[in-house]
């Protein structure tokens, strides 16, 4: 079976990995869009503290977390995964009681979270923390490097015969895939379409906006605090020629999918060079059509993140998927071993987590501003001010880099996973939980493309068929 995966983020890479392992002929199309969410995710895997009133969201994220240890073993390489635990912190100990009760209720079905304990002095585990905080520890929580996960999944898929093509993918009304060397004219409509989806999500803000993605009562903040405030940033198209930003880990581990194929000796095929000249070695390219190269496929998986709605529009569907911007910063503490510091999750405000190389990640903003993958002064001010309020010991840390990502949010509710047509499967809308549930969501999409039974019931996530 020939399967084209549109999108090379963590969901698309996960789908390619599972498909290639089942013997499918896989082509991944990497659009290279600025602001892709995977490269800017912090890497928190702690689903048990969120979505107390949304069983569908919790099922997806908890299964995603449960899936990681086996995936780490299968990949056989360092993807930055480590069970470092999570400190849930609050100024008032009483604020911790609701989440403590939630964890107790969920423990029997999720023993992997570990035994919850009180931490009288949180700064003993995360030294920069304020000494006014109270905390409970969730020992089973983990952190992961999203770029390393994506890269490892793609490397494994390529080793089994998958190909990666660079370019912008579009669909025809029949579900055929066209890959363009540059964004087609319709790409300029992305900002407007995003705005429409966002308006649908936030119409009647106040009550309805609280239902978006079912995130309101989660411990972690995943929706804007001031939902009534107007958007202040311009809507940018988010095309590959948008203003660049620092992306990927400081050690340049976040290779582009194109670079990954070169490392393995498997050529990436930039569509500008293809010129529709004959078939590939697998006969999958049929030639130029409307300025794009047609890539033959029996099935298509669209895992294009915040751009999914635009990709799928030619099928006659309007998918209310919109981008939610998150800005984060990476700081370093010279000579300090931060590799095993726990994740810090305040009730409201920034998360903090440590990585090797004396690195601490602080973030993120939660902004509904359309396709504007820009690091802003206001965003950095928010992250730094809130971060220092929780962890004043970071005042002398060195700011190493900033990142920005557009998290895909599906307006009607939880993630969007399922068949759109007989040939096209969609997988997106993971919002702030992409690195938690991304590989598992890719696995679900792969099973659907292969005509197999998915590992969980997808009814809550299935789109309406056109």
Q: What is the pLDDT of residues 342-375, one digit of tens each?
A: 999 998 778 999 999 999 999 999 999 999 999 9
Each residue's pLDDT tens digit, 275-292:
333 334 343 444 555 678
Please state, in angstroms and rounded to a whole number, the distance separating the CA atoms of residues 37 and 408. 8
pTM above 0.75, yes or no: yes
Residues in the chain, pLDDT under 50: 185-216, 227-254, 262-286
pLDDT of residue 98: 95
pLDDT for 224 equals 67
DSSP letter for 68, please. H
- Kind of pairing between the strands at 86-90 and 343-346: parallel
Do 181 and 271 form a contact (C-beta atoms < 8 A)?
yes
pLDDT of the residue at 211: 38
Residue 362's alpha-carbon distances to 136, 181, 214, 331, 344, in angstroms, are 20, 36, 24, 8, 10
At 212 the pLDDT is 39
Cross-strand pairs, 90: 134
Residues 6+ apart with CB under 8 A from 221: 348, 349, 366
Sequence-separated (6 or more) residues with CB below 8 Å from residue 428: 11, 302, 303, 304, 305, 306, 308, 321, 408, 410, 415, 416, 417
Structural domains of the chain, ranges and CATH numbers in brackets:
2-461 (3.50.50.60)
What pLDDT was estimated at residue 125? 98
Write out the E strands in 255-298.
Answer: 285-289, 292-295
Straight-line distance from the first to the last Cα atom of the chain, in angstroms, rounded to the nearest whole number: 24
Q: Name residue 177's beta-bridge partners.
A: 171, 295
Please tell me the predicted confidence (pLDDT) of residue 263.
46
- Other CB atoms within a 10 A radius of the CB of residue 258 amount to 18
**SS percent in the chain: helix, strand, coil, step 5:** 35, 25, 45
């Amino acid at each position: 079976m020939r399967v084209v995966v549109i999108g090379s983020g963590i969901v698309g890479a996960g789908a390619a990995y599972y498909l290639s392992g089942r013997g499918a002929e896989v082509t991944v199309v990497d659009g290279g869009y600025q602001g892709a969410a995977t490269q800017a995710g912090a890497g928190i895997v702690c689903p048990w503290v969120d979505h107390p009133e949304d069983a569908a969201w919790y099922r997806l994220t908890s299964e995603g977390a449960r899936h990681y240890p086996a995936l780490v073993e299968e990949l056989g390489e360092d993807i930055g995964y480590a069970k470092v635990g999570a400190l849930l912190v609050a100024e008032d100990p009483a604020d911790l009681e609701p989440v403590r009760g939630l964890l107790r209720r969920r423990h029997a079905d999720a023993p992997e979270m570990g035994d919850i304990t009180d931490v009288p002095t949180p700064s003993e585990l995360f030294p920069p923390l304020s000494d006014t905080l109270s905390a409970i520890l969730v020992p089973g929580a983990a952190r992961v490097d999203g770029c390393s996960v994506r890269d490892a999944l793609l490397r494994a898929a390529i080793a089994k015969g998958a190909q990666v093509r660079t370019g912008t993918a579009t669909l025809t009304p029949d579900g055929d895939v066209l890959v363009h060397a540059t964004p087609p004219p319709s790409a300029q409509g992305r900002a407007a379409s995003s705005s429409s989806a966002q308006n649908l999500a936030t119409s009647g803000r106040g009550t309805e906006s609280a239902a978006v993605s079912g995130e309101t009562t989660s411990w972690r903040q995943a929706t804007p605090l001031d939902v009534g405030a107007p958007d202040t940033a311009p809507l940018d198209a988010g095309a590959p020629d948008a203003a660049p930003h620092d992306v990927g880990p400081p050690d340049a581990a976040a290779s582009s999918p194109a670079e990954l194929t070169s490392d393995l000796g498997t050529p990436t095929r930039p569509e500008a060079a293809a010129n529709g000249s004959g078939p590939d070695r697998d006969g999958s390219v049929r030639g130029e059509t409307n300025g794009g190269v047609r890539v033959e496929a029996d099935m298509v998986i669209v895992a294009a993140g915040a751009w999914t709605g635009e990709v799928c529009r030619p099928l006659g569907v309007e998918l209310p998927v919109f981008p939610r911007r998150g800005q984060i910063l990476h700081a370093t503490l010279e000579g300090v071993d931060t590799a095993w510091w726990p994740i810090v999750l305040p009730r409201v405000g920034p998360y903090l987590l440590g990585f090797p190389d004396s690195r601490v990640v602080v973030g993120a903003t939660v902004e509904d501003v359309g396709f504007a993958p820009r690091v802003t002064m206001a965003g950095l001010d928010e992250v730094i001010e809130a971060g220092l309020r929780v962890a004043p010991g970071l005042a002398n840390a060195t700011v190493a880099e900033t990142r920005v990502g557009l998290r895909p949010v599906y307006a009607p509710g939880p993630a969007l996973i399922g068949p759109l047509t007989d040939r096209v499967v969609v997988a997106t809308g993971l919002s702030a939980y992409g690195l938690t549930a991304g590989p598992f969501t890719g696995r679900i999409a792969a099973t659907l493309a292969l005509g197999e039974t998915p590992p969980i019931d997808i009814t809550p996530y299935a789109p309406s068929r056109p």
